[in-house]
A = this chain, B = another copy of it.
Amino acid sequence: MTVTYSSKVANATFFGFHRLLLKWRGSIYKLLYREFIVFAVLYTAISLVYRLLLTGAQKRFFEKLSIYCDRYAEQIPVTFVLGFYVTLVVNRWWNQFVNLPWPDRLMFLISSSVHGSDQHGRLLRRTLMRYVNLTSLLIFRSVSTAVYKRFPTMDHVVEAGFMTADERKVFDHLKSPHLKYWVPFIWFGNLAAKARNEGRIRDSVDLQSLMTEMNRFRSWCSLLFGYDWVGIPLVYTQVVTLAVYTFFFACLIGRQFLDPSKGYAGHDLDLYIPIFTLLQFFFYAGWLKVAEQLINPFGEDDDDFETNWCIDRNLQVSLLAVDEMHMSLPKMKKDIYWD
């Protein structure tokens, strides 16, 4: 579930963000504590080996190696590579959120443009609405692991009431080697055209208004699919990951406290705990975790979109809107500012 904290930062107050540092759900600590432990253990192990096991000559070699590693660690452009990469990932993530398919625009139009309060009219509106929800479900199934777990087969889709058994049969009989998520939209178009012929949709203006909105919904669906299908090129992700991992590998050796008595520049203090290196681990690994979390926002991370909730909400709300609420109106009364 998305971690919402905006109400906690509504006002900029005294050390306003420090409260955020104490959250656990969706936090940097929860995401990183395992990696942090591994890093700390490795660092300690190397430190112990250096301090206790190595002989004098080995120590000298290790010290040189450490200085060598430290020098190169600073040359690795982690900051910039991460800055550019995370910006890219964040933009993609937000675009995916903005393009989540919501049926609300369509349900307003269907409720006001597809007429008839009789059973056939109700069936018409509910079926149109159901096709819309079905398409988004089909897309979500191929995009989101959480939704796929819930609807592993088309049987589950039928059982959940998104599809009737008849529709299932027609759907399965269509021969195409390609994905068929667009099929319910053809049905939508055909059904709307039929309703227009029957006079349930009054004229072409109303019909085209519906079709335009449906096409907008389809574009959202296909864009989501596109984001899933064509991700950030693997090479880019690998470059960034390699840079960060290499940096920490170099730090493991290069940031060891060397024997102060040897007089190496910048090594006249032995604190045992490399506090700033550990903090750097949090910055950089945390920044990379931002990317890991957002690169596919349809998983089951704390910060991923709640697609299963969306699916339920959309079906419930849209059927309510086009059926029970069709042409229902509270009595019009003068508001309190009248005259």
Contact = CB atoms under 8 A, between A and B. Distances in A.
Interface centre among A20, A27, A130, A234 (most CB of B within 10 A): A234
A80 B79 contact: yes
Copies of this chain held together in the complex: 5
Given A205-B204, A237-B17, A269-B64, A12 B35 contact: no
Chain A interface: which size bin? 35 or more
Contacts of A113: 193, 211
Given A12-B293, A98-B223, A283-B81, A238 B28 contact: yes
A234 B328 contact: no
A52 interface: no
A167 interface: yes
B238 A325 contact: no
A199 interface: no
Interface centre among A126, A209, A315, A329 (most CB of B within 10 A): A329
A84 B87 contact: yes
B204 A68 contact: no
B166 A331 contact: yes
Interface centre among A83, A108, A301 (most CB of B within 10 A): A108
A261 interface: no
Contact of A299 (B11, B185, B242): B11
Interface centre among A71, A97, A289 (most CB of B within 10 A): A289
A332 B194 CA distance: 12
Contact of A235 (B88, B250, B293): B293
Contacts of A10: 144-145, 296, 298-300, 304
A108 B215 contact: yes
Interface in A1-27: 2-7, 9-12, 14-18, 20-21, 23, 26-27
A3 B12 CA distance: 15
B88 A88 contact: no
25 contacts: A3-B233, A4-B228, A4-B230, A6-B295, A18-B245, A20-B234, A20-B241, A21-B242, A81-B83, A98-B223, A98-B226, A104-B218, A108-B211, A111-B186, A112-B211, A127-B332, A127-B335, A164-B330, A176-B320, A186-B325, A194-B327, A202-B204, A209-B212, A239-B290, A319-B335
- List of 3 A-B pairs having minimum Cβ-Cβ separation, nearest first: A10-B299, A112-B189, A204-B205
